[in-house]
Amino acid sequence: MSACFLASVVALLGLLARPSECARAFFVFGDSLVDNGNNNYLMTTARADSPPYGIDFPTHRPTGRFSNGKNIPDIISEHLGAEPTLPYLSPELRGQKLLVGANFASAGVGILNDTGIQFVDILRMSRQLRYFGEYQRRLRALVGAARARQLVRRSLTLITLGGNDFVNNYYLVPFSLRSRQFALPDYVRYLVSEYKKILIRLYAMGCRRVLVTGTGPLGCAPAILAQRSRNGECAAELMRAASLFNPLLARALEGLNRRLGAGTFIAANAFRVHFDFVSDPGAYGFATAKVACCGQGPHNGLGLCTAASSLCADRGRYVFWDPYHPTERASRIIVSQFMRGSLDYVSPMNLSTALEMDARLGA
């Protein structure tokens, strides 16, 4: 039994106090739910580099994460027994830090290149993938081609996309270009077909274990409640969009797995996980899922979270940190279901099962 297998098991049990030298590399792609600071280096309004963002982060300073503290990739890294990945644009990402992996995510992006155009300079998916290729060239220069290829093949990849393609594209304004071009079911089919191209590209670039999250209950975010709900109920049209998108994405992942290898793509049912505590926050120790901790206006859902915003005192009692993003505590519940949840939450296996299996096989 290898030392790395034992380290992996200990990490999965949550007993590893410090990063393990055996921890696999971790790569992150997607939007603001998983961005940990790339947009700090870009000329964009989609940023989280000012207080009170980061108020509960270990440094108590904003980092570019759209959270009061740690976000979903940080918490997955804890389960891997690894230090958090650095933003790819960070000047600190060099030398041995490259072996940890990298975060390429950028707030505001979507599956489509025209999503988030109002944010101007963001890392659209074509650019995130291009930077991943650049990262691999840097890695080869550091450790050689064979080891670099092995590091990528045995890595874990997380990708989170789709929400912005609805909120910041199709439903951004009445009679948006995409809503005039497509009826909603046709738009969803188009999104999933484009998403498949991105996932196939990741596979071609060496990724063999990819956690793919669907969208959460889009109509329940405080921003949407403030704009579209008259009675505090989740906005029906955004909920319909999520209910069409998520099952179609899950079926697409099943098809890719039949083609490329069972378990290559793990489907995380972010809608189900998130809706559990949106529909019954008290069961999870939350006081509310309808009001953001930080914001202003109805549901604290209007505008940005800034130093001038209304700020809750106990972040652990809120599902939403700002008008769109979960608190660290909510993110920990989400990740716990990704790690150990049933097939209702993650399929064809949960992440703990996949990682333990990989460790046994020496993947």
Backbone angles phi, psi at 198, to 5 degrees: -65, -45
DSSP string, 207-247: ---EEEE----GGGSHHHHHHH-SSSSPPHHHHHHHHHHHH
Residue 322 designated active-site:
yes
Whether the bond into 298 is cis, omega within 30 of 0: no
Q: How far is CA 74 from CA 70, 83, 204, 233, in A?
A: 6, 8, 26, 31
Return the exposure string of 30-64: e unless at least 16 CB atoms fall within 10 Å of the residue's CB, then b. Answer: bbbbbbbbbbbbbebebbbeeebbbbbbeeeebbb
Q: 308 is written with which tokens?
A: 């001038």
Indicate if 336 belongs to the active site. no
**Catalytic residue among 8, 20, 32, 77, which?**
32
Told to judge if 309 belongs to the known catalytic residues of this protein, a careful annotator would answer no
Nearest 5°: phi and psi at 37?
140, 0
Angle at 125 between CA 81 and CA 243, to 5 degrees: 85
Task: Please identify which of the residues 322, 347, 352, 358 carries the catalytic annotation.
Answer: 322
Residues catalogued as catalytic: 32, 322, 325
